[in-house]
Structure 1
Amino acid sequence: MSKYSTQFKQSAIQAFLKRGRGFRHIAALFQIDPTLLRRWVMSYQLHGEASFEKPGGHYSSEFKLSVLYRMWREKLSLRATAALFNLGNSSQVRRWEEQYYSGGFQALSSSKKILVNPMPKAPRKPEETAPKPIEELTHAELLKRLRQL
């Protein structure tokens, strides 16, 4: 479920378009982020009422690649590309671009995230002696144990 209703989005977009004020001013009136309002307005100007339909689902590798090629060819921003194709947001386009750069066309077809260099976990240090009851520890030992935790 979307955080903002379609009616709320329409009200914010219409306020921006009719009042002729800046994104920040209108966004402050509606208590939303100006970037979010900018994305809604751009998408609405390109797609009209269809911009309110919930994006999502599975996109084919060919579609993802065509989105990336169009973005690169026309030197579009991530935000403009997402609005042009009525995608949820620009981070989705960024993910596709990262997938393409890391593994080419085949990486776009994989729905699994690929970890390039996962960081190894640091080995646990074994305890030197059997733990004493807390009541028997000295002040220095208590501080050392606290730092370890």
Structure 2
Amino acid sequence: MSDSAPATSEEPAAPRRGSRRVARRAALQAVYQWLVSATESGDLFRQFQSAGHLKGADGDYFRALVSGVMADPDGLEALIAPYLDRQPEHLDPVERSLLLLAVFELRQRLEVPYRVVINEALELAKQFGAEAGHRYVNGVLDRCARELRPAEAAARG
């Protein structure tokens, strides 16, 4: 088979556009639920799958985001703490969830450009957060990105 041959049904399909966006939205909801109710990870994953919250989402990305935050919340909060004006537990739960998710992505998902991580977090903050929460999230993430991805941040100005 040549490189120009059409894809067959046996080859994996390209991921649908926006599937990570849907995964991030579901991950925000899952991390929020975990923070406010301490739902166990297995229960959380089953609940989101059975309720249809992952329809159209990249399920593996959703699981990686949520698992990553749940595995190291203290480490992630230590990364954002220098840029906060209060203790993480006193943040609005939506903003706290978004910051944890975005900092996890900045630290662990280097294939995702830092501007994409920040923009996705801002869109979710505008949709689910307090009225001016997106400004707060933007300020914290911008400073975290300079620390976690200095070369990328410097190259983008």
Same fold (TM over 0.5): no
Using CA pairs under 8 Å that are at least 6 residues apart, name the structure with larger relative contact order, 1 or 2: 2
Larger Rg: 1
- TM-score, normalisation: structure 2: 0.27
- TM-score, normalisation: structure 1: 0.28
